[in-house]
C-alpha cells in the first residue's frame, strides 16, 4: 500500500513537472500570432509583389534566329547563287527603362502595403486574443458569483421554511426566490455556452486554451492624428500605388528599343568565291499615335490617383470619428469601474451591518442574505465592466501604429 502511494505521489510530481515545463507566458502566445495563417498568407503576398518588382526590371527573353535565305526550290545547294546563304543571329527587345522602373516601383509599393496589412492583422489578432482571455476570465468570475448567489438562495429558502413552520405568512417570498433562482440558473447555463465559444476562439488563435494572467493594457496616447492609424496608412499606400500607375503611364511616352544581329554564311562555288556577310539593325519606337493611345491612359491613371486621394481623406475622417467614439467608450467603462467599486464597498459595509443586526437579533436572516446578493449583483456588473474596458483598450490600441507618434515628432 505504501509503495502504491509512493508511486502515485511520484506520478503526480512528474505530471506537475511536465505541466510546468509546458507552461507558456502571454508573450509566447502573442508571438504565435505572428505565424497565424491570416498573417502568413498576407506576408506571402508581400513576398510575391517583391519578386514581381525584381522581375519587372529584367529584359524579355533573347530571340535566336536560325534559317536560310534565298534558297532555290529546284537546287538546294548553297554554292551556286550569290544571295543563297545560311543565317544565324539574335534579336533583343529593350523596353523603356523608365517604364520598367515605374512598374517595378508599383510592385514594391504593393509589397510594402501588404507588409503594413500583415502588421495590422497581427495587431488585430492580438487584440482579439486579449479580448477572449478577458472574456474567459469574466465568465469564470460570473460563474463563481452565481454559484455563490444560488447558495444564498438555498439558505434563504431554509430560513423561510423555518418561518413557515413557525406560522409566518411568507409564501409570496418563496415564489419570488424561485423566480430569481431560475433566472440565475439560466444565466449559469448561458455562461457555459459562452465559455465553449470563447475557448474555441482561443484554440483557433493559438491552438489551445491558455491559462495565463490577464495583461495590463496601457492607454496609448492619441491626439486625433489620422496618419497614426493603420487603416489610414494603408489608404495612403493606395495613393502611392496609383502614383506609380501615373509614372508608368507617363513613361509609356518614352521609346522602346531593340537590337538585331545576323550572320550569313555563303559557301564558295564556281560562280562566287566571295566572303560571308553580317548585318546589324537597331529599332526605336515612336509614340506617333499618343493622342489616342498614351494620353487617355495617362488621364485615366491621374483620375485613379485623385480617386485614391479622396478615398484617403474619407478614410481619415471615418477613422478619426471611430477612434474618438471608441476612446469615449473606453473611458466611460473606466468611470463605471470606479463607480461600481465605490458601490460595492458601500454594499459590503451594509452587509456587515446587516450581519451584526442579525447576530444581535434585530434583523432577520433574509435581510443579511439580500444584502449579500445585492453585493454579488454589483460584483457581476464590475466584472463585466472590467472585461469591457480591457477589450475596448486592446481594440483601440490595435488600430494605432506603434512608434508613429514619436517618429513624426522627431
pLDDT digits (tens, 9 = 90+) for 71-116: 877 777 666 666 778 889 999 999 999 999 999 999 999 999 999 9
In angstroms, what is the C-alpha Rg of the chain? 39
Average pLDDT, rounded, for the chain:
86
What is the CATH number for 119? Answer: 1.20.1600.10
- Asked whether residue 68 falls in the same domain as residue 126, the answer is no
- The total number of structural domains in the chain stands at 2
Looking at the domain assignment, is residue 4 inside a domain? Answer: no
- Asked whether residue 134 falls in the same domain as residue 266, the answer is no
Looking at the domain assignment, is residue 161 inside a domain? Answer: yes
Angle 365-398/294-359 helices, nearest 10 degrees?
160
In this predicted structure, what is the pLDDT of residue 1? 43
- pLDDT above 90 as % of the chain: 61
| Nine cell digits for residue 195 | 465559455
Give residue 81's domain range: 62-94+255-289
- Asked whether residue 52 falls in the same domain as residue 72, the answer is no
Looking at the domain assignment, is residue 10 inside a domain? Answer: no
* More confident call, 85 vs 128: 128
> First-to-last CA distance in the chain?
73
Neighbours of 397 (CB within 10 A): 19
Per the CB < 8 A criterion, the answer to whether 315 and 231 are in contact is yes
> Distances in Å between the alpha carbon of 129 and those of 29, 38, 60, 327?
9, 14, 48, 20
- Mention every residue, 6+ apart, whose C-beta is less than 8 A from residue 398: 120, 123, 124, 126, 127
- Asked whether residue 316 falls in the same domain as residue 401, the answer is yes
Residue 17 pLDDT exceeds 80: no
Q: For cell 546589324, what's the residue?
A: 280
What is the CATH number for 72? Answer: 2.20.200
- Asked whether residue 333 falls in the same domain as residue 243, the answer is yes
Looking at the domain assignment, is residue 2 inside a domain? Answer: no
- Asked whether residue 370 falls in the same domain as residue 397, the answer is yes
Distance of CA 386 to the CA centre of its chain: 24
- Euclidean distance between CA atoms 235 and 307, whole angstroms: 11
In this predicted structure, what is the pLDDT of residue 11? 46
As a three-state string, the secondary structure of the chain is CHHHHHHHHHHHHHHHHHHHHHCCCHHHHHHHHHHCHHHHHHHHHHHHHHHHHHHHCCCCCCEEEEEEECCCCCCCCCCCCCCCEEEEEEEEEECCHHHHHHHHHHHHHHHHHHHHHHHHHHHHHHHHHHHHHHHHHHHHHHHHHHHHHHHHHHHHHHHHHHHHHCCCCCHHHHHHHHHHHHHHHHHHHHHHHHHHHHHHHHHHHHCCCCCCCCCCCCCCCCCCCHHHEHHHHHHHHHHHHHHHHHHHHHHCCCCCEEEEEEEEECCCECCECCCCEEEEEEEECCCCCCCCCHHHHHHHHHHHHHHHHHHHHHHHHHHHHHHHHHHHHHHHHHHHHHHHHHHHHHHHHHHHHHHHHHHCCCCCHHHHHHHHHHHHHHHHHHHHHHHHHHHHHHHHHHCECCCHHHHHHC
In this predicted structure, what is the pLDDT of residue 401? 93
Instruction: Quickly state the pLDDT bin for 170 (edges 50, 70, 90).
Output: low
Looking at the domain assignment, is residue 20 inside a domain? Answer: no
Instruction: Quickly state the pLDDT bin for 22 (edges 50, 70, 90).
Output: very low
230-266 pLDDT tens trace: 999 999 999 999 999 999 999 999 999 999 999 988 7
Instruction: Show which of 244, 272, 289 is a domain's final residue.
Output: 289
In this predicted structure, what is the pLDDT of residue 14? 47
Question: What does the pLDDT average to over 168-192?
Answer: 81
- Asked whether residue 134 falls in the same domain as residue 178, the answer is yes
**pTM recorded for the entire structure:** 0.82
In 3D, which of 219, 408, 223, 391 has the Cα closest to residue 320? 223
- Asked whether residue 148 falls in the same domain as residue 122, the answer is yes
Per the CB < 8 A criterion, the answer to whether 123 and 144 are in contact is no
- Asked whether residue 218 falls in the same domain as residue 273, the answer is no
Looking at the domain assignment, is residue 12 inside a domain? Answer: no
Per the CB < 8 A criterion, the answer to whether 142 and 186 are in contact is no
Instruction: Show which of 236, 265, 289 is a domain's final residue.
Output: 289
- Asked whether residue 163 falls in the same domain as residue 272, the answer is no
Looking at the domain assignment, is residue 6 inside a domain? Answer: no
- Euclidean distance between CA atoms 290 and 253, whole angstroms: 7
- pLDDT above 70 as % of the chain: 86
- Asked whether residue 110 falls in the same domain as residue 144, the answer is yes
Per the CB < 8 A criterion, the answer to whether 95 and 237 are in contact is no
- Euclidean distance between CA atoms 404 and 356, whole angstroms: 58
Looking at the domain assignment, is residue 315 inside a domain? Answer: yes
Residue 289 pLDDT exceeds 60: yes
- Asked whether residue 124 falls in the same domain as residue 241, the answer is yes
Amino acid at each position: 500500500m505504501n509503495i502504491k502511494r509512493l508511486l502515485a505521489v511520484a506520478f503526480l510530481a512528474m505530471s506537475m513537472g511536465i505541466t510546468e515545463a509546458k507552461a507558456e507566458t502571454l508573450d509566447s502566445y502573442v508571438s504565435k500570432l505572428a505565424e497565424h495563417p491570416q498573417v502568413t498568407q498576407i506576408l506571402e503576398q508581400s513576398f510575391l509583389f517583391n519578386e514581381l518588382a525584381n522581375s519587372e526590371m529584367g529584359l524579355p527573353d533573347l530571340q535566336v534566329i536560325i534559317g536560310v535565305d534565298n534558297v532555290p526550290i529546284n537546287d538546294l545547294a548553297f554554292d551556286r547563287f550569290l544571295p543563297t546563304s545560311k543565317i544565324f543571329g539574335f534579336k533583343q527587345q529593350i523596353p523603356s527603362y523608365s517604364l520598367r522602373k515605374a512598374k517595378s516601383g508599383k510592385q514594391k509599393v504593393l509589397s510594402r502595403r501588404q507588409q503594413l496589412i500583415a502588421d495590422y492583422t497581427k495587431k488585430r489578432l492580438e487584440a482579439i486574443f486579449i479580448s477572449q482571455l478577458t472574456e474567459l476570465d469574466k465568465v469564470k468570475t460570473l460563474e463563481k458569483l452565481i454559484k455563490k448567489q444560488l447558495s444564498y438562495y438555498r439558505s434563504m429558502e431554509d430560513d423561510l421554511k423555518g418561518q413557515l413552520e413557525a406560522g409566518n405568512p411568507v409564501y409570496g417570498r418563496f415564489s419570488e426566490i424561485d423566480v430569481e433562482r431560475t433566472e440565475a440558473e439560466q444565466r449559469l447555463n448561458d455562461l457555459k455556452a459562452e465559455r465553449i465559444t470563447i475557448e474555441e476562439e482561443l484554440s483557433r488563435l493559438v491552438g489551445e486554451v491558455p491559462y495565463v494572467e490577464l495583461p495590463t493594457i496601457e492607454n496609448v496616447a492619441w491626439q486625433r492624428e489620422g496618419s497614426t492609424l493603420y487603416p489610414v496608412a494603408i489608404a495612403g499606400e493606395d495613393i502611392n500605388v496609383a502614383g506609380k500607375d501615373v509614372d508608368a503611364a507617363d513613361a509609356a511616352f518614352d521609346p522602346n528599343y531593340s537590337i538585331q544581329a545576323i550572320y550569313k554564311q555563303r559557301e564558295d562555288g564556281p560562280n562566287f568565291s566571295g566572303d560571308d556577310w553580317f548585318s546589324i539593325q537597331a529599332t526605336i519606337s515612336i509614340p506617333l499615335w499618343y493622342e489616342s493611345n498614351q494620353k487617355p491612359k495617362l488621364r485615366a491613371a491621374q483620375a485613379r490617383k485623385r480617386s485614391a486621394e479622396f478615398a484617403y481623406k474619407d478614410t481619415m475622417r471615418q477613422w478619426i470619428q471611430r477612434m474618438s467614439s471608441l476612446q469615449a467608450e473606453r473611458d466611460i467603462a473606466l468611470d463605471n469601474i470606479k463607480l461600481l467599486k465605490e458601490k460595492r464597498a458601500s454594499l459590503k459595509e451594509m452587509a456587515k451591518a446587516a450581519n451584526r443586526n442579525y447576530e444581535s437579533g434585530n434583523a432577520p436572516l433574509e435581510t443579511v442574505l439580500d444584502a449579500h446578493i445585492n453585493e454579488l449583483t454589483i460584483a457581476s456588473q464590475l466584472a463585466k465592466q472590467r472585461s469591457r474596458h480591457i477589450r475596448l483598450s486592446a481594440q483601440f490600441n490595435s488600430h494605432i501604429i506603434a512608434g508613429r507618434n514619436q517618429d513624426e515628432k522627431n
